Chain A
Amino acid sequence: MSYVHPEYLVDTEWVAAHSNDPDVRIIESDEDALLYAIGHIPNAAQVDWFSTLQHTLRRDFLTREKFEEVASKLGITNDTTVVFYGDKSNWFACYALWLFQYYGHKNVRIMNGGRLKWEQENRPLVKDVPSFSETKYKAKKADKSIRAFRNEVLKQSNAKKPLVDVRSPKEYSGELISMPNYPQEGATRGGHIPGAVSIPWAQAVNEADATFKTPEELRALYEGKGIKPNEEVIAYCRIGERSSLTWFVLKYLLGYPDVKNYDGSWTEWGNLVDAPIEK
């Protein structure tokens, strides 16, 4: 058994061989954005989920026009193969990939294992920031089929259709809203969306080298909890970043046809007046 869409993954060796390929752009996207400045894959560019990919006023992603600017400055054409990698088992790499897909860039990959595996293999990290000649990137209309908004999530919950909560077990149970010893940021209520099953995101990756688990392991993990390919699935976490990794796994590694990421996630749902919550 192999992944349903193995073409969405590349390994570190492939990246090492293609980092200067003009048809390929390597992009680092981290949870901790300073890591890029400390050292990155030669010729890799950076996007930062916070300063590059967010709308500056609304709680939303950058507009289509701004996305075109960002992609053009990164020297990306509509045909470029864009490979994402990052820290924390590729969380934010998957988040960036998801957003590129949202604006219609289909030719995307994840470097399996991310920064961790690259470092473990003692591959070079450099501080030089590459520059690229600017392109005229044309984005497509936002693809809402991969992004869930709160009304759809409520419908999904009411219809008892699959919802995957990928946060830690204590966040799911409502014992914690975020992390211990830290301000319980972002939500006034704890718990989960009624009907959601708990499948923490990290169960999809191997802790040792941040690579994805095997197709067999992944299938057993999700199907074992009743998350099957025949129904539409919505994944969420706290701000939509951990769940974009789960989205990537379900959509491409397991080939589920209809998977959405609810980026509003718990920071929206746990504050939403009148939204039903289970503990």
Chain B
Amino acid sequence: MPIPPQLQEIVDDFTTMTREEKLETLIGYAETMQPLPERFREARSKMEAVPECMTPVFMIAEKDTNGGIVFYLDIPPQSPTVRGLASILTNGLNGSTLEEIISVPADFFLPMKLDEAVSQQRLNGFMGVLAHMKQVAVRVGSE
């Protein structure tokens, strides 16, 4: 199954960017991440604390009227790289079906050559966020 078209579009955009353009685009994604809707605030406050050095990534999802899955994230502004990368995933995946989401290959982003712009640790984290989204999608999708 091909990856969702709006995610493919982001991947294609990145393939032609210079390193500086990639960094600027990541900042753009970080800055335009939508704030967490009020109705999820309570769930957010119950989130488990993460060990010291990690950026806390809060994630919740629900089905839209077409049965697609929509993710909402809350990541502190002090972590723009994590915000930017996670925002790529929500922009690329929101509204997709459960099947589309779980079919996204873990290495879908390799053509984006993000390793020019961010460290391998960050890319591992990026894969971690995608893996986490799949778990949340499975939970929401089966409700």
Contact = CB atoms under 8 A, between A and B. Distances in A.
Interface of A: 31-35, 37-38, 50, 87-88, 91, 115, 168, 170-171, 176, 179-183, 185-186, 200-202, 239, 242
B54 interface: yes
Closest 10 CB pairs of A and B: A182-B128, A34-B80, A50-B119, A168-B51, A185-B124, A179-B54, A32-B81, A34-B81, A202-B52, A32-B79
10 contacts: A32-B55, A32-B80, A34-B23, A87-B78, A179-B51, A182-B128, A183-B124, A186-B124, A200-B52, A239-B121
Nearest to B121: A185
Contacts of B55: 32
Contact of A182 (B80, B118, B125): B125
Contact of B124 (A33, A88, A182, A201): A182
Contacts of A170: 51
A242 B53 contact: yes
B78 A50 contact: no
Nearest to A87: B78
A115 B31 CA distance: 19
Q: Most chain-B Cβ atoms within 10 A of its Cβ — which of A87, A171, A185?
A: A185
Contacts of B128: 181-183
A32 B78 contact: yes
B92 interface: no
A34 B119 CA distance: 12
Contacts of B61: none
A87 B30 CA distance: 17
Contacts of B121: 185-186, 239
B139 interface: no
Given A35-B80, A202-B52, 15 more contacts: A32-B78, A32-B80, A32-B81, A32-B82, A33-B81, A37-B24, A168-B51, A180-B50, A181-B132, A183-B124, A183-B131, A185-B121, A185-B124, A201-B52, A239-B121
A88 B53 contact: yes
Contacts of B27: 34, 37-38
Q: Most chain-B Cβ atoms within 10 A of its Cβ — which of A37, A180, A181, A200?
A: A181
B131 A34 contact: no
Contacts of A176: 51
Given A182-B124, A183-B124, A239-B121, A35 B78 contact: yes
Contacts of B95: none
Interface string B115-134: 00011010011011001100
Contacts of B118: 33, 50
